[in-house]
Structure 1
Amino acid sequence: MLIAQVTDIHLGFEPDNPAEFNRKRLDQVLKQLKSMVPKPDCLIATGDLTEFGDADSYRRLKNAFAQLDFPVWPMVGNHDIRANFAAHFPDVPGHDGFVQYEFDAGPLRVLMLDTLEDGRHGGAFCAVRAAWLTARLDEDRARPTVVVMHHPPVEVGIEWMNTHPEEDWVQRFRACVAERSNIVAIICGHLHRPITTQWEGTTIAICPATSPQVALDMSPIDPERPDNRPMIIADPPAFALHWWNGSELITHFDTAGAHVMLAQFDAKMQGLVRSLIAERPA
């Protein structure tokens, strides 16, 4: 099972430009995903699909996804507006007004969570959403399950983008997933960087953005003293691939576009490939 992930598309950042920079970056990633062998079984789009939550940006996003020949499962982030999202993605299930649902991914069960709170940049996870997640997890305590959400529930060291581990919503989410041995990964976006960590007995994998990335700067920041540090950088558009090997979920991060090739599988490399494969059990 191969699940592709894109996140933080921020379509509509240039609202009067149908050929905007962020759309070009998204198209680069989608083109690469379409040409992959093997092809992804599905794509998850983990929030901040648009910059302003406007209807036209969701229309253009839906048109962009239409070029794919595998299912796309989107969710909302803090830049999204649920009503406009729902109008253009009416087939995406919801619960009590939240974009929260599950789908089958072959051997995996995927639970998509809504961590949007209007007017807040950081995450949220209220009692209603927590009750839904708890009920879904209680339904099946054995099947390998992936939890997907926009906001990571962890502090990552980039101070201006951090989530404080004692925030109420983090504590509520932690209570839902604690001691759930069948959760094989928590997949997130929001931070515009590739990050992994261990948390509550599972792996958190945070995908970099298709839009520009957040600069890696872990020095303290004083909100009252601008210091001209880089914040957003034009690194290449990126994506993640989550591969279920039958017992573990393996996450790869990559960027779209050409990569400089230093070696290829030709006669010179054939001996190495043969010897590496021969070392494995039959």
Structure 2
Amino acid sequence: MLIAQVTDLHLHADGGHPNLARLHRVLDHLASLQPRPDLLVLSGDLADDGALESYRHLQAALERWPGPLRMALGNHDSRAHFRAVFGDSHVTEGFVQGCSALGGLQVLVLDSLEDGRHGGAFCDARAQWLRAVLQGIGAAPVLVFMHHPPVDVGIPWIDPGAGQAWIARLDAALQGANLAGICTGHVHLGGVFRWRGRTVATCPSSSSDLSLVFAPMQPDAPDGRPLVEQGEPAFALHRWSEDGLATIFGRCPQRVLATWNVATRQMVADMLQEKIPS
């Protein structure tokens, strides 16, 4: 089972903004993979400005994706404008959340948006819904997608910080779940973290990267450090098997350096042969 994750698209109402072209590159690349992913999850900050036209650009771009799709919202998104374009097919009880089966895996999308707040949120209503869903799932493995990671990653201005009530509510609601992992966006970088005995994987962004500067920050003392950079458009691939979850971070390729041809045939054959138990 292969799940593709694209996050932090940051589309603009202006269709000429480069983030839309970067998204097209990612979608075309993912659709060309063999095997093609069984599911695509867009994990928030779909729009940068929350504008209706941004979601219309997204809707048009997704016409090039041939398979199943799930979406979550991030702090740059507008729930109302998202619903105005995509309807309520991704909405449950007023939030962009839902659960669906993919083979033997339950894919659970959570809504961590709170209007007017940059960081995450998870209110009592969402927590109650999550507990009810997990009770119905029982012992089946669950893979969670949401925008905000419930754990610090080391970049001060993006970390949620200690003592967040929404994180405590999420933790309590997840108790007892057979959790394969939690896959998030928001950080714009690929990483794997431990959170209260669980694995959290953050997905790199199709639009930009956050700068790897871990030094402490004082709100009233800007020091000129870089905050946001830009490499090639990125994504994550989550492969689920009976052995568990494996996550790989990728970027859209620019130049192929090697192919499987007569020059590499023996090396590949030797490596494949080594997989056969002796």
* Fold agreement, TM-score > 0.5: yes
Residues 1:148 and 2:140 aligned together: no
The list of structure 1 runs, each at least 4 consecutive aligned residues, that deviate by more than 6 angstroms after superposition, is none
Residues 1:275 and 2:270 aligned together: yes
Residues in 1 aligned to 2:254 and 2:184: alpha-carbon distance in whole angstroms: 26
Q: Partner of 1:250: helix, strand, or coil?
A: strand
Q: Which residue of 34, 39, 45 corresponds with 1:37?
A: 34
Partner residue in 1 for 2:100:
103
Q: Specify the code of the residue in structure 1 equivalent to 2:3.
A: I
Q: Which residue of 85, 104, 111 corresponds with 2:82?
A: 85
Q: Structure 2 stretches of 5 or more lacking a match?
A: none
Aligned 8 A contact 2:41 2:71 in 1: yes
Q: Which residue of 163, 186, 189 corresponds with 2:185?
A: 189
Aligned 8 A contact 1:65 1:72 in 2: no
Residues in 1 aligned to 2:264 and 2:162: alpha-carbon distance in whole angstroms: 48
Residues 1:215 and 2:211 aligned together: yes
Residues in 1 aligned to 2:21 and 2:160: alpha-carbon distance in whole angstroms: 30
How many Å apart are 1:260 and its aligned residue? Answer: 4.7
Q: Specify the code of the residue in structure 2 equivalent to 1:266.
A: N
Residues 1:2 and 2:2 aligned together: yes
Aligned 8 A contact 1:6 1:210 in 2: yes
Q: Specify the code of the residue in structure 2 equivalent to 1:171.
A: A
Q: Specify the code of the residue in structure 2 equivalent to 1:59.
A: R
How many Å apart are 1:143 and its aligned residue? Answer: 1.2
Residues in 1 aligned to 2:80 and 2:262: alpha-carbon distance in whole angstroms: 57
Q: Normalized against structure 2, the TM-score is what?
A: 0.95
User: How much is the aligned-residue C-alpha RMSD, in angstroms?
Assistant: 1.5
Q: Partner of 1:159: helix, strand, or coil?
A: coil
* Superimposed CA distance per residue, residues 181-232 of structure 1 (whole angstroms, 9 cap, x where no aligned partner): x210101001111111122333211001111111111011122111111111
Residues 1:162 and 2:162 aligned together: no
Q: Normalized against structure 1, the TM-score is what?
A: 0.93
Residues in 2 aligned to 1:221 and 1:259: alpha-carbon distance in whole angstroms: 38
Partner residue in 1 for 2:252:
256
Distance 1:141-1:247 versus aligned 2 partners, 3 A rule: farther
Partner residue in 2 for 1:56:
53
Aligned 8 A contact 2:30 2:36 in 1: yes
Q: Specify the code of the residue in structure 2 equivalent to 1:164.
A: G
Residues in 2 aligned to 1:140 and 1:11: alpha-carbon distance in whole angstroms: 35
Q: Specify the code of the residue in structure 2 equivalent to 1:189.
A: G
Distance 1:264-1:95 versus aligned 2 partners, 3 A rule: closer
Q: Partner of 2:157: helix, strand, or coil?
A: helix
Residues in 2 aligned to 1:145 and 1:30: alpha-carbon distance in whole angstroms: 25
